[in-house]
Structure 1
Amino acid sequence: MDQKIKFIWVIGLAFLIAVLVLISGCVEEKPKENLTQEKIIEGGNDPHIWLSPKNAKMMVENIYNGLIEIDPDNKDYYKTNKDSYITELDKADGEISKKLLNLKNRKILVFHPSWGYFCRDYNLTQIAIEKSGKEPTLQGIENLIKQAKENHITIIFASPQFSTKSAEVIANEINGNVVLIDPLERNYTENLYKVADAFSKV
């Protein structure tokens, strides 16, 4: 088998194993009530497991374990890369914790509830416009406007993968604006900093 193809196959398989293991762990471990919004996601578990540096570290460890099991000859190479990336994640986690530590308003209004684990890590609460993949009803929009005003929220966070129509309607009613944050940004750690900076402005 061509070495490049073999490497891609190994990475893909290891990533799948890591995700399955991590999802299994998330199902078994119930998040703390006071650190989550609507028990992470109403009616189930948040699939956006990668949007938490702490979860990402678990994924890196799982990927590493999968790789060395399949390709033990390159264990040292994988370990060097693993340790380097975990150091980078620890640094990001620490700096984000400091940035958000003294945030007065700890509630964020989002269109798609992608940020449950991020909010759990940094003691934030996300209020989601979309529920179970569905746009809000008229009554739902009215309730969200009321919540936003009661909590002095003027920023709505939306993802570029979704329509911002409902978010813009609510933003107009609260004299706020819509800010795009991307859960699928290519540069992972850089994006964590960008999101933390955006949340710090609420």
Structure 2
Amino acid sequence: MLKKWITMLLCLLVIASFSACGSKKQENKPDESSEAVSSTDQTNQSDESPLKVYVTFNAMKEFVTAVGKDKVEVATIIPDGMEPHDFEPKAQDIAGLSSAKIFVYSGLGMEAWAEEAIKAADNTDLIIVEASKGADVIENTDQEEIEEHGQYDPHIWLSLKGAESEVKNIKDALVQADPSNKDYYEANCDDFISQLEDLYNEYNEKFQSVEKKSFVTGHAAFGYLCRDFGLEQNSVEDTFAEGEPSAQQLTELVEYCKENDVSTIFAEEMASQEVSQTLADEVGAKVDTIYTMESNEDDMTYLERMSDNLSKIYESLK
């Protein structure tokens, strides 16, 4: 009889032990409200992630970064050192556009491949920004250039006034993509434009004070900059830096430089300086570098490089 009671007591203890284990497992299981909070946190974190912006070349990256700052993640499609006119996008570039939120290109024929790349990306949510849209543009007059590259001079970002126009278009796109941060983008845009205007005012006064108004470049990329300040460029190569000047063109440039006491021939890092050096040697001038801001040259910002350009041009006219 005693053995029977002991056996029954052991059975009861085993049953109680299993019940307690089951109770502990239930207590450690997360409830539905905890899962809901975790899900909400993940959503908020996703919402706060930077906007994925693809741009064509360095100047566009500078403008997007100036307005978007820490709320954008910018990828540049054209590698540093490559001329945008000659670039052809690769499969990885198209793949990037297919997942991007915004695509910024300057336009006016600078990136002739842009429209095809947009089609190939097949991203219906992609916000497309032709940054030069609505700007006061300069028309090409050379019929061959018009047939090959289009009707307009594309180098609008090399003008402080042109930069203002492009920055405003970029700001509008960021606001469209992220309206909750509208005030942030508008404040950054206003601040950058204020810096552009300060630089313009500083050099407009300086250029008005000099008698000489013309300078010589290796590449006719500074038409918009000249329009800003009432200057004139003479160039070794045309707007799209294609081919080499004829003997007659070089002879005319040599005569022009001598008649106007040109002391500096400006050349770009990305273009061949050989012809510019030949011209400089012929007229007793020096060759100096000027920035086109298509690549990240010398790790300087847009404003620093633009200031450097204007300073060198001004010194050459004094």
Please give the TM-score of this superposition, normalised by the length of structure 1. 0.84
Q: Which has the larger radius of gyration?
A: 2
The worse-fitting range, judged by mean Cα deviation, of 161-170 and 133-142 is 133-142
- Following TM superposition, the consecutive aligned residue runs of length 4 or more in structure 1 with deviations greater than 4 angstroms are 13-16
1:166 offset after TM fit, Å? 0.6
Contact 2:280 / 2:286 at 8 angstroms: preserved in 1?
yes
Rate the CA distance shift 1:20–1:54 in 2: closer, same or farther, 3 A: closer
Equivalent residue number for residue 274 of structure 2: 165
- Equivalent pairs, count: 191
Relative to its length, the structure with more strand (as a share) is: 2
* 1:143, distance to aligned residue in structure 2 (A): 1.2
The CA RMSD measured in Å over matched residues stands at 2.5
Aligned residue for 1:12, secondary structure, equals strand
- The answer to whether structure 1 residue 82 and structure 2 residue 220 are counterparts is no
Question: Secondary structure of 1:172's match?
Answer: helix
Deviation at 1:46, TM superposition (A): 1.7
Percent of aligned pairs with the same amino acid: 30
Following superposition of structure 1 onto structure 2, how do residues 26-37 of structure 1 map, counting pairs within 5 Å?
26-27=136-137
1:179 to 265, 281, 288: 288
Q: Does the 8 Å CA contact 1:26/1:45 hold for their aligned counterparts? A: no
| 1:8-64 CA-partner distances (Å, limit 9, x unpaired) | 334535875142515xx445xx57xxxxx979xx75422111011111111111111
In structure 2, what is the equivalent of residue 19 of structure 1? 131
**Which residues of structure 2 form unaligned runs of 5+?**
1-45, 53-71, 74-99, 107-127
| Counterpart residue number, 2:254 | 145
User: d(CA) in 2 for partners of 1:14 and 1:149?
Assistant: 40
Aligned partners of 2:133 and 2:187: how far apart in 1?
A: 22
Is the alpha carbon distance of 1:51 and 1:5 closer, same or farther for their aligned partners in structure 2, counting shifts above 3 Å?
same
Q: Indicate the residue corresponding to 2:314 in structure 1.
A: 200
2:156 is the counterpart of 1:49: yes
Per the alignment, residue 125 of structure 1 pairs with 232
Residue 243 of structure 2 is aligned with which of 123, 126, 134?
A: 134
1:69 CA drift (Å): 1.3
Give the match's secondary structure for 2:103. helix
How far off is 1:5 after superposition? 5.7
CA deviations 1:95-136 (Å, max 9, x no partner) are 111121112211110001111100110000000110252211
- Give yes or no for contact 2:132–2:156 (8 Å, CA) kept in 1: no
Sort the Cα spacing of 1:147 and 1:98 in 2 relative to 1 into closer, same or farther, 3 A: same
- Choose the corresponding residue for 1:105, options 212, 215, 218: 212
Query: Contact between 2:218 and 2:236, CA under 8 Å: does it hold in 1?
Result: yes
Structure 1 unaligned runs (5+)? 32-36
**Which has the higher relative contact order, 1 or 2, with Cα contacts under 8 A spaced 6 or more apart?**
1
Q: 1:13 to 1:51 in 2, by over 3 A?
A: closer
Q: Answer whether contact 1:155 1:177 (CA < 8 A) is retained.
A: yes
